[in-house]
Amino acid sequence: MAVTTTNTVFCRDIVPLWDGMEFVVDGNSKVTAENGSMLEPKSNAFSLPHISTCPGSTEVCRSGCYVHGLQKHAAETYATYVQNERTLHRVLMSTTAASRSAKLLSDYINANVTSFRWHVSGDVFSIRHAEWISTVCELAPAVNFWIYTRTFPAIPYLEARNLAVNISADSANWHDALTAHEQYGHRICYFTRDGSVPQLPEESVIFPDYNLRGRDLAEPTDAEWWQGLDIGAKRMVCPADFFGQSESTRCGPCKKCLFP
């Protein structure tokens, strides 16, 4: 099923479980990666409600979260995130149900996509959740998975070899994020609301808030914020966020966050 809202195409598929339960796998023009195209994306993400499933969230990320807009403009899609959370809590209550649901979700992933994103909305809410994610990844070894997380205590449990773990950071959790990077080696993905950016490790990615982007300019690079960045920081900026999405400017062609 595909729905177009503003300039983004949203899609979703049902993964039946048992006893009337199901997971909903969704996707959109940006995150579809190499699965389909911008105009015809394939579902390749598993999401949850924002903030309530984000134990490591900060005031900076909560106030600037893009999912506020998604909740408003793609309400049907957001409703599936609520459904996913309810179902996930149920299956995580027992080892048998957790294993069975992981197998059913991985079967869908193996049959349909080559790259898969955890949490367009939401985050890892427990260690058991992190272990379940790793199990799904391990059951689909040919698929490239990626995730952004602020749940730093869960990082050691996100251990599947085919899972790219991105440490989400902003000015409020910067020091903890840097410590996690130094301890585990995963890249930092830094969200800036006010335009300030610390000295980031190599291979980091910068996500600018809406007011910093150059999409409304004839030449996006004329944006004042962009002009103030050094060449190293410019290379780190997420192209799809700053320049706008196109067939060549989305998660698949970019790959900044997709691989360990």
pLDDT in tens, 214-249: 888 889 999 999 999 999 999 999 999 999 889 999
Tens-digit pLDDT profile for residues 127-161: 999 999 999 999 999 999 999 999 999 999 999 99
Structural domain harbouring 133: 2-254
**In total, how many domains does the chain have?**
1
Q: Give the pLDDT score at 250.
A: 93
**260 inside domain:** no
Closest by alpha carbon to 258, among 122, 83, 220, 250? Answer: 250
The DSSP line for 203-214 is: T-EEEE-GGG--
Distances (CA, A) of 112 to 76, 130, 147, 192, 255: 22, 23, 19, 34, 19
Q: How many CA atoms lie within 13 A of 149 on its CB side?
A: 27
Tens-digit pLDDT profile for residues 26-57: 999 999 998 999 999 999 999 999 999 999 99
**89 inside domain:** yes
How far is Cα 193 from Cα 171, in angstroms, rounded to an integer? 9
Mean pLDDT of the chain, nearest integer: 94
Does the reported pTM lie above 0.85?
Answer: yes
The DSSP line for 122-173 is: ----SHHHHHHHHHHHHT-TTSEEEEEE--GGGGGG---TTEEEEEEE-TTT
Q: What is the DSSP letter of 222?
A: G
**211 inside domain:** yes
**127 inside domain:** yes
61 vs 215 pLDDT, higher one: 61
**259 inside domain:** no
